Structure 1
Amino acid sequence: MATLADVARRAGVSTATASRIINGSSKPVADTLRERVLAAVAELQYVPNAHAQMLARSHRSAVGVIVHDVSDPYFAEITRGLQRVASANGRLVIICNSFREPERELEYLELLHAHQVAAIVVAGSGYLDEEASARLDARMRAYEATGGRIAVVGRHGRTGDAVLPDNEQGGFLAADHLYALGHTEVGVIAGPAGLTTTADRLDGLRRAARLHKRKLPKQRVVHADFTRDGGFSAAATLIDAHPEFTAIVALNDSMAVGALAALREAGRTIAVVGFDDMPIARDVTPSLTSVRLPLTEMGSRAMELALGEPGADPRTERVDAELIQRESTWPLTH
């Protein structure tokens, strides 16, 4: 097995410098040295002494959580579950907002590593950019090599403990519901194009379209930023460009609420389906048909994976999606 000295020799640095980088010391280190050491760790498959790992973890009381934006109801519900489990285990939660920026996510991973948190949960979507995903995975591996634990929510470009909501099936359920009601002219308000969550939900919509012998071309899809205002703007664009639409699928509830507001302002009556089934879905007018994911439970399960004993193999918790029909959808009558 490779030793710390082997890593230092391979990277061309002192043993003390290699130790500081591997163990997440807060002492500043040049980026070039850090990258060389982490590359040597990966090449040599270096694993720190198990006893040293236990000692290092024994005083770690904090856990890190990286979300895209905790003010987003989706992440607020997941964070509720994360904090519930962390509190029950006497852990302090440090929440970091990446705002869907891979570089910021990398910085937070390094910062949490430097603070020697016991575990990290990455609750934001994965990225379709393979280079960004590879860099994030390498940073996570470096943290894990020092005894830290990581669990992710959603599809990420890595192998490890994960909670995977069935976003593809959820997208299928949303579109299948509308097609079954007789709606053939359907528009889509999607999230940011570079996220795996957006891609998976769109894949499900397209599968339903194929099943019903319909098409979902790119011009029927408008990307927005998962906010109420993004949904409002996207819905206005869709109904202006396609007045024939009788239904819209919004790939989260915040955008769906914005779409309902845009339709009211335009004096249009169009069926709308949201996604995630936030508490507000029951309270808007009309009440919102939505694809439900048990978000609080997803957060709890992710934190349990991060704080639990490591398994021999990566553990994956799969979470089913469910369509909840309310007043915002109805059979199309000609």
Structure 2
Amino acid sequence: MAVQNDKAQSPATLMDVAKEAQVSIATASRVLNGSTRKVRNQSYVKVMEAATKLNYRPNAYAQAVAKGTAPNIVLLVSDISDPYFASVSQGVVKAAAERGISVTIGVAATPHEELEAVRKSVSTRPRGIIISESEYTDAPERQALQTELTQYEASGGRAVFVLNRNLPFPAVDMANDVGARAIAKLIVDSGYTRPAILKGDDAHRSSKERLAGVMEVLDEAGITVDPKAVANGKFSRTDGYAAVMQMARSGLLKPGEGALYDGKGIDSIIALNDVMAIGAMTALRANGIEPGREIGVTGFGDIPYSADVFPPLTTVHLPLAEMGQAAVDSILSNRDDGEATGGTANRLIYVQSAPDVVLRGSLPRR
């Protein structure tokens, strides 16, 4: 009489087969989903025997993914209206279209939304998933996200991050710290000594790296930043505007009693991304202060709008479209990542290892 087991109640999964055959999920996938990657004969036999025993039925779409024939890529961003993400998305869509691949764009603003979006994306079996999102490196969803993507890659898919999170997947990155030190050196060399700094959340990777680079250069130059001069603009134009407006209402910006830097006020604003810088310039004007004349302003990113605002924004150039293209190239490349996805661990794709500073009218020499 046949022995009843839990597998009689639901279809066997790829993970079940791998466990039964005592091989990795990646190896089981290559055997059962028709991958062209080589598998040792002994492993092949073990997987086929386990699949027969468990009555495993391969997923047709998973086979397409493993063979590299799935027709689409999923791109996840936190805010499609943000020019930063729009530029990255443009690079992804253009590079994919040139290869006959469609792109589905999803929006997820928080780590929780990101995890749920990845789970939904994985269920549709796209050829690849590109994540250009929150960068919250200590989020509680981090381990669950890694597990979802590891299983997805084991079935033949590809996952790539735009900006590294130190997870075991390829990541398109740029030298945040190098760019931050370069813009801070320009500020110092231009004669500014009393900056206000607009940063992002403390757990946001790019904000942490850029802030550290800026503070390092200022410290080397003997400039002590007033603690009240550092505000959280949350990497958004609205919050950058609000942060500067709050400083102005509190009497911190202009010279006078209670102003920053022992009553001298600020002479510059260092925003760690462009949209915060643009919001800051609007807030300065609302308080009768002319950016680029009375107070210098810098950004980070060189989004398309940075050259069009007045005065044009001095910033750190990031090749945003090229970053999107590099992510697509990684998805569609021919790579053999070994027996497990750990073979791609911490693979950084540097599009630009030394970001350029673009000097414009918002930071005249004093």
Scaled by the length of structure 1, the TM-score of the pair is: 0.83
SS in 1 for 2:70: coil
Aligned pair partner of 1:19 in 13, 18, 25? 13
Q: Are 1:192 and 2:201 counterparts?
A: yes
8 Å contact kept, 1:187–1:238: no
Distance 1:187 1:300, change over 3 A: same
Q: Are 1:317 and 2:328 counterparts?
A: no
Deviation at 1:107, TM superposition (A): 0.8
Deviation at 1:44, TM superposition (A): 7.4
Which amino acid is 1:234 matched to? A
124-133 or 173-182: which moved more?
Answer: 124-133
User: Which residue in 2 is equivalent to 1:56?
Assistant: 64
Aligned pair partner of 2:324 in 299, 306, 323? 299
User: 1 CA distance for matches of 2:208 and 2:143?
Assistant: 18
Distance 1:182 1:91, change over 3 A: same
Superposed CA deviations along residues 121-176 of structure 1, whole A, max 9, x for unmatched, are: 11124213153322221221121111110111112130221111111222212222
SS in 1 for 2:285: helix
* Aligned counterparts, 1:214-293, within 5 A: 214-216=223-225, 218-239=227-248, 240-243=251-254, 244-268=265-289, 269-293=294-318
Distance 1:64 1:246, change over 3 A: same
User: 2 CA distance for matches of 1:279 and 1:259?
Assistant: 17
8 Å contact kept, 2:25–2:155: no
User: 2 CA distance for matches of 1:241 and 1:44?
Assistant: 63
User: Which residue in 1 is equivalent to 2:49?
Assistant: none
User: 1 CA distance for matches of 2:215 and 2:8?
Assistant: 55
User: 2 CA distance for matches of 1:92 and 1:227?
Assistant: 29
Report the structure, 1 or 2, having the larger helix content. Answer: 1
Distance 1:18 1:130, change over 3 A: farther
SS in 1 for 2:179: helix
Q: Are 1:80 and 2:90 counterparts?
A: yes
8 Å contact kept, 1:290–1:325: yes
User: Which residue in 1 is equivalent to 2:215?
Assistant: 206
User: 1 CA distance for matches of 2:308 and 2:329?
Assistant: 32
Deviation at 1:218, TM superposition (A): 4.3
User: Which residue in 1 is equivalent to 2:259?
Assistant: none
Structure with bigger gyration radius: 2
Which amino acid is 2:332 matched to? L
User: Which residue in 1 is equivalent to 2:25?
Assistant: 46
Superposed CA deviations along residues 296-327 of structure 1, whole A, max 9, x for unmatched, are: 00100011101211244534211231110011
CA RMSD of aligned residues (A): 2.4
Distance 1:14 1:212, change over 3 A: farther
User: Which residue in 2 is equivalent to 1:161?
Assistant: 170
Aligned pair partner of 2:363 in 325, 329, 332? 329
Distance 1:86 1:16, change over 3 A: farther
Q: How many residues align?
A: 303
User: 1 CA distance for matches of 2:140 and 2:226?
Assistant: 28
SS in 2 for 1:226: coil
8 Å contact kept, 1:125–1:154: no
Which amino acid is 1:310 matched to? R
Deviation at 1:204, TM superposition (A): 1.2
303-312 or 48-57: which moved more?
Answer: 48-57
8 Å contact kept, 1:175–1:205: yes
Which amino acid is 1:251 matched to? L
Q: Hey, which bits of structure 1, 4+ residues long, moved more than 4 A?
A: 12-18
SS in 2 for 1:215: coil
Stretches of structure 2 that go unaligned for 5 or more consecutive residues are 36-62, 255-264, 338-342
User: Which residue in 2 is equivalent to 1:33?
Assistant: none
